[in-house]
Structure 1
């Protein structure tokens, strides 16, 4: 008895689910449905953006920290070289107190080398920053193209539906009868092709 009630309830639910699209087809979709669909599109986009952020966050972080470590290593190497050069300079000053002119030229050469290395490191960092900006610009351009295509597709769909509605509204029963009569007359008078 209990199983029969469950089967009857399931059959009734199935009948209602089967009949619901037929009933809904007679009516225009409610206005809230469009907002509901847009809301879900936004939620889906946010989920996608979050997933991309979560997926790309660590590789980007690793890349930047790797670059930071590389630059820091180069700076430490430069500091070590600078410290070594300063130690050699001090030893030379102690050994050769009378060679001040030679020492001045050595300091200038060391400063020029350090400046060249600093400029090279700055140029490398600037190139990497430009590369990152170019990648970001390309990503934004691709997203903009996709959005434009999606908007154009939606505009075409809307124009087609508006044209269909206008045609339906413009064609009267008399027009339909006249067109049907013309078609049947042409079909009856048409010669079969051999």
Structure 2
């Protein structure tokens, strides 16, 4: 991978790499604020879309199980495919209730991930272990807060997480714009 430096004669306005990053950053931030504007609707829509993806994945898994029966694990692949498809149908038919269940699983995952990061922080203390410890504590705390407000939190958590993620990703793109303009380089090829 090499970086190409733009010659000094063209103006920065002619450099498409920073304009594209600027546009993408603005779009991400705008989308994030739209999502944060109605986190309940965003959560329900997210659950519905996850349901569609799970249904497609489940059907694909069942199809694969039958099309390659000579492979090991036919029954396991068939069962996994059916479970994915059933969960997808549940999320599609009742995304509000499905989002409550997804939020419960998400909270448990945050707690488990936080505990693992806390344990690893002491093992990797020399390599910013304090930051890993802090990250683990925040993860456990966030999971516990979500569980404490559950099942009501199931109606807003997924939308809030998606909205914040979009805004933060947009900010990253805008930060990249500043660096691209200062260094007058295109994105690495």
TM score, norm. by length of structure 1: 0.24
TM score, norm. by length of structure 2: 0.25
| Structure with bigger gyration radius | 1
Q: Larger % of helix: which?
A: 1
